[in-house]
Structure 1
Amino acid sequence: MLRIHFGHTDLGAVRVATAPNPFWEIATSLHRLQTRDGRWAYADWFRTVRVRLREKGLDRALRTVLLPLVPRAAYFPDFLTPAAGVDGLDAGADEILATCPRRVARELARLDRVVGAPAWAPRLTGPEARRDLVRLLRAYHDAAVAPYTEEIRSRFDAERAALGRGFLDDGVPGLLGGAGPAIRWRPPALHVDYPAADRDLRLDGRGLTLLPTYFCWRSPNSLADPALPPVLCHPVHRGAAPLPPDHPLAQTAAPPLATLLGRTRATALRAAAGGATTGEIARAAGVSAASASRHATALRDAGLVTTRRHGATVLHTLTPVGASVLRAATP
């Protein structure tokens, strides 16, 4: 259990990350490769990524470098998930390269105490070994994460919209309590089902960043060093298991989409881009709530929106297909 303790100033400094962090996606996707938990939700990803890594000659580096460095265990080094990653892969890579060697050594020593570090790990305190590691992380990202960028971003945006709705409806408690079933707000602390050891994190006025993460499954994660800027990586809400971008079935949605041509459903689709309730869709389209519900159902059946219950309301957000359709229709 992780207990995150808030003061009055911390409640005013809770935020949701503005974009996915590719380094948290790398770390949590490596965790997915080490367990069968949640395999159904990532089944197509798991089947294709193994082949892709082998084709790119990365399977040996995966076994000997990445998995030992990022074990699905009580600890992995914090410097591998840099905060600057929300600004893109390049910004996060630069932060890893600029990490103080003493910090790298300290975190690798902790990894060795907790689960055992590979014999070559101490070399990462040097700049050349870290440049090699960053090149490997980039190659792994290109093979295992980048092909799913649209799906990741769509799930992230939907989760961010739902969290924003929780804040608008119920304030900070609605925001903190809406990040998933493993997270519970019991003032003045946030209680998190945590895979690592039982611990307390005191924010001390620094606030907290919530980071919805696509490859995070069930149990949230956080930085181990309490002195670092507090972040809580937590799973995105999932509907049906996604298809990979190159899956042939991803191209079979054309007949249902033909039923969506028309002003009302186009308006409903645009409204869902920012997250919208059935009532908000009705007001945007100038139709009754019952009619808006039927249009939202048609959009959902066609795979363009996903629906998530939030308190007494339901929130409609775009799926990756819906986002693509909307982009294609927008000059």
Structure 2
Amino acid sequence: MQNVHLTIDDLAKLKIVPTVGPVAESVFAVDLLRRGAGGAPFAGWRKAVGLKMRRTRPSADVLTGPGGLRPRPAPESEELQQRARGSWLFDLVSSEGPADDVECPDPVIERVHHLGVAPYWAQARTHLQLDRDRRCQLLVSGGIEHLLSTLHAWIDWSPPVLTVASGRAQEIELRGNGLVIVPSLFLAQPMVFADPARTDRAPVLVYPAPLDLDTADALWSTVGAGDRALAALVGRTRAKVLQALTETCNTSELGRRLGISPAAASQHATVLREAGLVTSRRRSNTMLHSLTALGSALAMVGSPALDTGMAEPARSPCGPGPGARA
């Protein structure tokens, strides 16, 4: 059990962000594949990724077994537990830079990212954004206690201690730094990642976002079809703008995500804003862009649906996700 001790100051600094990014998700996906975990919702994904790996030339570190990767004789999640004790994985899940621009730390993770995460990332990111928005609504309507007590079946909130059944024995004192909460698609069980160097960076609680069979089937089977439909409706580049804005970001970062200049990104955002699909607000010397309810619905074309029960995503204390800095 990981016992996270929260003070009033920590609760005041609690943040919910939409994703740890595709590279961190690839780390979790490697663990999921090697253990054949995830159950029925991931059966289609495991089959598709295993087939891709058998069709492509495997590296020295990747074998084409039933799960696509070499099975490990170690107990479940031991490898991920060992990784969690290192600073590099904490750096990865706590990154405040552009989540899509992080380099893969080793060839196995890069391979799984290429074959098993990147092809599904647009839909996955939308799914995670919607789960995060639903948590924000729970926070706004029911308070922190309601949020923490409903995160996951393996997470228990008994003030002032949040207990996470991660398989690790650890006492985590936040020391007023707060806690970052983020959903994951590929993490099999909730886990708290804390900086081994014991700096003032807030630990990150990553929990598995719910995934039912219908949503999973849509997620694994519609890759590419939704993108084509959305591109036909609004144009290819503006379709990419909508999908990129499932995470709030500023103009410069939007340009980096799309591989276009900030001026071009601003122009596309302006057109979509005039169409009621994007909203923009100024913060200091930068402009932050987010999807409206209609824009979010369009971005979900071909993506799995998740009923949030709300017209607009809650913004505080959830705020912009990672990479929304100037």
Q: TM-score of the superposition, structure 2-length normalised?
A: 0.59
Instruction: Please list, as runs of the form range in 1=range in 2, the aligned pairs for 1:272-311 lying within 5 A after superposition.
Output: 305-307=305-307
Q: Equivalent residue for 1:207?
A: 178
* Alpha carbons 1:211, 1:233 under 8 Å: kept: yes
What are the ranges of 5 or more consecutive residues in structure 1 without an aligned counterpart? 97-132, 255-266, 276-301, 309-313, 319-331
Taking a change above 3 Å as real, the CA distance of residues 167 and 236 of structure 1, as seen in their structure-2 partners, is same
Structure 1 residue 76 corresponds to structure 2 residue 82: yes
Residues 68-77 or 46-55, more deviating: 68-77
User: Which amino acid is 1:213 matched to?
Assistant: S
1:30 is matched with 30
Is residue 31–residue 72 contact of structure 1 (8 Å, CA) maintained in 2?
Answer: yes
Matched, 1:223 2:193: yes
**Does the aligned pair in 2 maintain the 1:85–1:91 contact within 8 Å?**
no
Moved more, 53-62 or 154-163: 53-62
Deviation at 1:158, TM superposition (A): 1.4
* Structure whose CA Rg is larger: 1
1:175 aligns with 2:147: yes
Deviation, structure 1 residue 18: 4.4
2: CA distance between counterparts of 1:317 and 1:38?
31
- TM superposition score normalised by structure 1: 0.58
Change (3 A) 1:136 1:306: closer
CA distance in 2, matches of 1:56, 1:209: 38
The residue correspondences of 1:43-122 to structure 2 (distance < 5 A) are: 43-58=43-58, 60-63=60-63, 72-73=77-78, 75-77=81-83, 78=86, 79-80=88-89, 82=92, 83-84=94-95, 87-91=98-102, 93=104
Aligned residues: 234
CA contact (8 A) 1:272 1:305 kept: no
CA positional deviation for 1:86: 6.0
Q: Which amino acid aligns with 1:200?
A: E
Give the 5 Å matches for 1:179-194.
179-194=151-166
Segments of structure 2 that go 5 or more residues without pairing to the other structure are 230-276, 278-291, 314-326
TM alignment of 1:136-147, pairs within 5 A: 136-147=108-119
Distance 1:87 1:18, change over 3 A: farther
Report if the CA contact (8 A) 1:2-1:191 is conserved.
yes
Give the secondary-structure state (helix, strand or coil) at the position aligned to 2:157.
strand
User: C-alpha offsets along residues 150-178 of structure 1, whole Å, 9 cap, x if unaligned?
Assistant: 22112211111111101111222233233
Kindly provide the amino acid, as one letter, of the partner of residue 99 in structure 2.
G
**Whole-angstrom CA distance in 1 between matches of 2:96 and 2:114:** 15
Residue 41 of structure 1, CA deviation = 0.8
On the 8 A contact 1:167/1:175 being kept in 2, the answer is yes
Overall identity of the aligned pairs, in %:
21
Alpha-carbon RMSD across the aligned residues, in angstroms, is: 4.0
Which one scores higher on RCO, CA 8 angstroms, separation ≥ 6? 2
